[in-house]
Amino acid sequence: MPRYARGFDLDLAAAHLSRRDRKLGRWIERIGPLPQAGWRKPFDTVDVLARAILYQQLSGKAAATIVGRVEQASGSRRLTPSAIDALDDERLRACGVSGNKARALRDLAARAGQGEVPTQKELAFLHHDEIIERLTAVRGIGRWTVEMLLMFRLGRPDLLPVDDLGVRKGAQLLDRLEEMPRPKELAARGERWGPYRTLAGLYLWRICDAVQADATEAAQAKPKPKVKRSQD
């Protein structure tokens, strides 16, 4: 059984992408090297997924407040199955957790207890397609959530989240399209970026940021029209 490495050589990947795609290469040169992701940090799969559930459809500040309340109520900084099981529905509701999210947390804890949620060590021996299949079986966990775990926690090199709006917008800007490409179109477009589609996706996000920053700078630099005062 092969063991999949956590992370990959970003310089090697950037050089590969620049050779395979000149348009993307120009953006890579403009944006520059990306910082090394936190691929070496240990994590607990259940904790990561539980926090993802709690953060869904909320602003970062509101979600962080609810997570803090859950941590305090459970007496644990990690949202483990035992920490989740320690809180009944009433206490979860008092923390601001909706009924749907509470049911998702229950399902996550139950599946973890049955050995259906791979640990960090077990994930190292699973192909990313199998990880997606197994973790999306958990209530409330979608493909995008698992893709983010694969990219930012495990450092898998060849993931392109084609449903992500930021990635699709970046691809639109890259190719100067009138509309964002559909997920299937983006998947086909991304074939040339393999086996480093993860880094391509990271740069597509950065392209969005760069274009937005340019637009903001241009708007601020634009001289304001002078207001003529009426003379009585």
Q: What is the pLDDT along the chain (232 residues), one digit of tens a residue?
A: 789 999 999 999 999 999 999 999 999 999 999 987 678 899 999 999 999 999 998 888 999 999 999 999 999 999 999 999 999 999 999 999 999 999 999 999 999 999 999 999 999 999 999 999 999 999 999 999 999 999 999 999 999 999 999 999 999 999 999 999 999 999 999 999 999 999 999 999 999 999 988 777 777 766 666 666 555 5
Active-site amino acid positions: 164
Which of 55, 42, 53 shows the shortest CA–CA distance to 153? 42
Q: Is the peptide bond before 195 cis (omega within 30 degrees of 0)?
A: yes
User: Could you identify the residue written with the tokens 């997606």?
Assistant: 132
- Pairwise CA distance, residues 122 & 120, whole Å: 6
Which stretches of the chain are DSSP H helices? 10-20, 22-31, 45-55, 60-74, 81-85, 89-94, 99-113, 120-123, 128-135, 143-148, 165-175, 183-189, 197-221
d(CA 68, CA 77): 9
pLDDT of amino acid 59: 87
CA geometry: angle 163, 165, 171, nearest 5 deg: 90
Say what the pLDDT of residue 1 is: 74
Token pair listed for 48: 């990561």
User: Cα dist. 217→24, 172, 221 in Å?
Assistant: 23, 21, 6
pLDDT of residue 92: 97
pLDDT given at position 212: 87
CA distances from 148 to 20, 145, 159, 164, 188 (A): 24, 5, 9, 10, 20
The model's pTM = 0.88
